[in-house]
């Protein structure tokens, strides 16, 4: 996994509470477990007016012009700003896959569903929790300023606005370390490979019948 330390990116506002994983990645796209190619189907039923399926060419899709992510001013956004309980519903890992493959690196919300939060951290994205007052302020600023971008500093645990306002966020020390070092669950296990091998050898010597 790639290390995450700093990121500066254009912000797109998704001004909604309780965005569930079926909205993020609709169930019809979960037939594939390739872990690739999900970005075009992110928020599919909100971004498109037609019914889609995995593999349907983008040229054949009917865009919902009024949906915020389809507005030209938010093209290339890599920071998603939303409200409470983002990522609720089922624990499908396809949802963070789609967000990352679309281009998001930072998600900012008042709260996240627990499993979704952990899945994001394991899939190269930083979920940032800010209080309701800060979220409200950022939503207003994003709406008022085209090209609005935020700087996220994981070592300092801050989000910095274009005018220099620093907003602090909390993150578990273990999660922070893994993101900074680019270590996922598999990598963390492999770091203990010698200890695991020693245990297996000792176990076999003590109980050869196993």
Residue 128's closest CA among 93, 168, 94?
A: 168
SS3 assignment, position 149: strand
Which pLDDT tens digit goes with each residue over 177-203?
A: 999 998 877 666 666 667 777 777 788
| Predicted pLDDT of residue 29 | 87
Measured CA to CA, the distance from residue 5 to residue 185 in angstroms comes to 18
SS3 assignment, position 50: coil
Phi-psi region of 173 (alpha: psi -120 to 50; beta: other; left: phi over 0): alpha
- Alpha helices (runs of H) in 14-113, residue ranges in sequence order: 21-24, 44-47, 94-102
Measured CA to CA, the distance from residue 156 to residue 93 in angstroms comes to 28
Measured CA to CA, the distance from residue 99 to residue 92 in angstroms comes to 12
Domain ranges of the chain: 6-183
Measured CA to CA, the distance from residue 117 to residue 97 in angstroms comes to 13
The three-point CA angle 172-151-187 to 5° equals 40
Measured CA to CA, the distance from residue 114 to residue 112 in angstroms comes to 6
Measured CA to CA, the distance from residue 53 to residue 68 in angstroms comes to 22
Q: Which helix (H) or strand (E) holds 20?
A: none
Could you read off the pLDDT tens digit of each residue along the chain, which spans 210 residues? 789 999 999 999 999 999 999 999 998 888 777 788 999 999 999 999 999 988 888 889 999 999 999 999 999 999 999 999 999 998 889 999 999 999 999 999 999 999 999 999 999 899 999 999 999 999 999 999 999 999 999 999 999 999 999 999 999 999 999 999 988 776 666 666 677 777 777 887 888 876
Q: Which CATH superfamily is domain 6-183 in?
A: Aconitase, domain 4 (3.20.19.10)
DSSP state of 69: G
Estimate to the nearest angstrom the gap between the alpha carbon of 157 and the chain centroid.
17
């Amino acid at each position: 996994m790639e290390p995450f330390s700093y990121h500066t990116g254009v912000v797109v506002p998704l001004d909604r509470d309780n965005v569930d994983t079926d909205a993020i990645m609709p169930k019809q796209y979960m037939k594939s477990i390739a872990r690739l190619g999900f970005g075009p189907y992110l928020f599919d039923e909100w971004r498109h007016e037609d019914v889609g399926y995995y593999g349907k060419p983008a040229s054949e899709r009917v865009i919902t012009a009024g949906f915020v992510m389809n507005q030209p001013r938010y093209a290339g956004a890599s920071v998603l700003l939303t409200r409470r309980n983002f990522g609720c519903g089922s624990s499908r890992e396809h949802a963070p896959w789609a967000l990352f493959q679309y281009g998001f690196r930072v998600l900012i919300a008042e709260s996240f569903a627990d499993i979704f939060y952990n899945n994001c951290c394991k899939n190269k994205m930083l979920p940032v929790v800010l209080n309701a007052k800060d979220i409200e302020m950022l939503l207003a600023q994003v709406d008022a300023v085209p090209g609005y971008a935020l700087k996220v500093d994981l070592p300092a645990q801050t989000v910095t606005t274009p005018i220099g306002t620093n907003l602090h966020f909390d993150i578990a020390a273990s999660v922070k370390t893994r993101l900074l070092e680019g270590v996922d669950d598999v990598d963390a296990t492999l770091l203990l490979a010698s200890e695991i091998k020693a245990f297996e050898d000792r176990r076999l010597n003590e109980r050869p019948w196993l």
